[in-house]
Amino acid sequence: MVVQLRTAPQQPGRMSEGSQPKVEANILVLGAEKVGKSALTVRFLTRRFIGEYGDIESVYTHNVMVGGRDVCFSIWDSTCPQAAELQGWVSEKQLRWADGFVVVYSICDRSSFHLARQQLQRIRQLKRRGGSEKSPVILVGNKRDLQHRRAVSSEEGRLLALSMNSGFFEISAAETYHGALVVFHELLDLVRDSRSSGKKAVGIRGIVRTMSAVFGRRRTE
Ligand SMILES: Nc1nc2c(ncn2[C@@H]2O[C@H](COP(=O)(O)OP(=O)(O)OP(=O)(O)O)[C@@H](O)[C@H]2O)c(=O)[nH]1
Ligand SMILES: [Mg+2]
């Protein structure tokens, strides 16, 4: 079951005050069990760390101003399947829904790092199959406050992110709001970049099509 929740009243129109169109972004939060997916999401939405979150899968709608623009985040805080063989799985439905992905592991849990790698590979694979090269992703190493229990070095996290062409942050959802803020804002930037580069590519394809239509016709006239 996926629960739908709104954290702020949704604006009636799709235009913000300065008549700039509202930016909408669907963000899917993935990762192994108990790595802090909900803690990170709730931190961003409410600025608070509650401690215990249960294991309910929720989609939150959150309206906020970012850099003078009205932004509507829909954040799907997922749960990890129990069955080991399904854990690296990201469904095609989730893939189609999401504009961007946050893949979380715990720096104290090496198996969660392996799972993050599998999920990153799956996102890349499915997006490539769907014909899209760019899929905005941020890899997050959470629980940075637990240094004495660290099992994954920062370097490993950075290298994995580099190899998967994704962003990377180590944060502590327990300790600060800033880390969560930076993760979602950076991802929003990546989503907007990928949309504008997509538009450019379509634009160039459009010009090529027009040119070949013109020259093609001339050749046959
Ligand atoms: N020390 C520390 N504990 C954290 C941090 N983030 C989350 N936790 C704790 O880790 C546990 C799991 O956090 P959740 O946010 O429920 O993790 P989750 O990934 O949503 O878990 P599931 O939805 O059940 O898979 C809770 O006890 C949190 O209090 C963190 O940054 N530091
Ligand atoms: Mg959760």
- 40-58 pLDDT, tens digit per residue, is 999 999 999 999 999 889 9
Looking at residue 206, what is its pLDDT?
47
Q: Does residue 34 form part of some domain?
A: yes
Q: Does residue 207 form part of some domain?
A: no
Q: Does residue 13 form part of some domain?
A: no
Domain of residue 42, CATH code: 3.40.50.300
Q: Residue with the nearest Cα to atom 13 of ligand 1?
A: 36
Tell me: the pLDDT tens digits for 126-148? 877 766 667 899 999 999 999 99
Model pTM? 0.85
Average pLDDT on 75-79 reads: 96
In the block, residue with structure tokens 């998967």: 164
Domain count, the chain: 1
CA distances from 163 to 100, 127, 135, 168 (A): 18, 16, 14, 11
Residue 8 has pLDDT above 90, yes or no: no
Q: Which pLDDT band holds residue 90 (cuts at 50, 70, 90)?
A: confident
CA of 52 to the centre of ligand 1 (A): 7
Looking at residue 83, what is its pLDDT?
73
Q: Among 38, 104, 172, which residue has the most ligand 1 atoms within 8 Å of its CB, making it the best to mutate? A: 38
- For the Cβ of 80 lying below 6 angstroms from any atom of ligand 1, the answer is yes
Q: Does residue 221 form part of some domain?
A: no
Cα-based torsion angle of the residue sequence 7, 9, 10, 15 in order, rounded to the nearest 10 degrees: -120
The residue segments making up the domain with residue 173 are: 2-6+23-46+57-200
